[in-house]
Amino acid sequence: MTELQEWELFKQKLFAKSSINLNDYKPAQMQRRITNFSHRNHAEGYLDFFQKIDKDAKLYKTFIDYLTINVTEFFRTPEKFNELESVVLPHLLTKRQRLNIWSAGCSIGAEPYSLAMALDHLTPSVRHRILGTDLDVEMLNKAKQGLYTANELKNVTVERLKRYFSVQNESYLVQETIRSRVELNRHNLLLDAFEDGFDLILCRNVVIYFTEEAKNALYRRFFKALRPGGVLFVGGTEAILNFREMGFESYLPFFYRKPVTG
């Protein structure tokens, strides 16, 4: 069997096991990442590597974490989050008292919890709906625990650290008042159905290895999932160059709005 045939069979087997479709990812980058990981684990080819992760649950979990790039932190990219807090959210709140927000690809929950804190500051008496979803069940379980390291909190102000966290040994636990405001569910962005009626969707640092076709299809689905006037917030390296073709209008750098008349 050739290397290409092994790769195709590996993709099929991984999809059957994990529902991750590698055809939606840039092939060169993904093959390089997987090859590097498999070599570190002494695999002789893609199929030998699949046998290893199929038999070893711990190795499989490590591989999925590696593949889905679960690196995150609270208030990630603080200057952009500041724009979200000072401009985007206040404007959305002039249109709707209770916002419906989706953090797509929320990993360990830092982003939806950051949103909950920001909204608690802006509208302390209002309980908004904040949905956090991710493909990785282990990451969602960590999100539900709400326990974080100091490094993951490096962008949290001292005031918020005191108000919203309690210290547990060398970790920090998000207060239940914040955790209870976030709904966490497993969801595959490339396969599963989307809800609609969102005022704000955040999908940041998630699509870095997606093909252009997969990204375009995803952003078009986000467009449909937003209310008129709703906003999509993407990562700092993920500017949507063809946003007008999808129906979006420019709002702020890395923020795209669905026209009210759309």
From 210, 221, 206, 202, select the one nearest 21 (Cα to Cα): 210
- Rg of the chain over Cα atoms, rounded to whole angstroms, equals 19
pLDDT (tens digit, 9 = 90+) per residue, 180-239? 999 999 999 988 999 999 999 999 988 877 888 999 999 999 999 999 999 999 988 788
- Check residue 70 and give its pLDDT: 58
CA 260/CA 27 separation, integer angstroms: 38
* Bridge partners (DSSP) listed for residue 182: 130
Extended strands (E) in 95-188: 100-104, 129-134, 147-148, 165-168, 171-174, 182-186
Count of CB atoms situated within 10 Å of the CB of 213:
10
Residue 72's pLDDT band, with cuts at 50, 70 and 90, is confident
Angle formed by the axes of helices 57-67 and 46-55, to 10°? 120
- Check residue 54 and give its pLDDT: 93
The residue behind tokens 């209310």 is 227
CA atoms within 13 A on the CB side of 192: 15
CA atoms within 13 A on the CB side of 134: 30
pLDDT (tens digit, 9 = 90+) per residue, 162-180? 999 999 888 999 999 999 9
- Check residue 62 and give its pLDDT: 85
Tokens, residue 91? 């404007």
Domain with CATH 3.40.50.150 in the chain: 78-257
Tell me, yes or no, if the pTM score tops 0.85: no
pLDDT (tens digit, 9 = 90+) per residue, 34-58? 998 999 999 888 999 999 999 998 8
Element (H, E) at 33: helix 27-40
Q: Which residues 6+ apart lie within 8 Å of 109 measured at CB?
A: 132, 139, 140, 142, 143, 144, 146, 174, 182, 184
CA 6/CA 1 separation, integer angstroms: 7
Which of helix, strand or coil describes residue 228? Answer: strand
Residue 26's pLDDT band, with cuts at 50, 70 and 90, is confident
Extended strands (E) in the chain: 100-104, 129-134, 147-148, 165-168, 171-174, 182-186, 198-203, 226-234, 249-252, 255-257
pLDDT (tens digit, 9 = 90+) per residue, 4-20? 888 989 999 998 988 78
Is 78-257 in CATH node 3.40.50.150?
A: yes
Q: How far is CA 245 from the centre of its chain?
A: 24
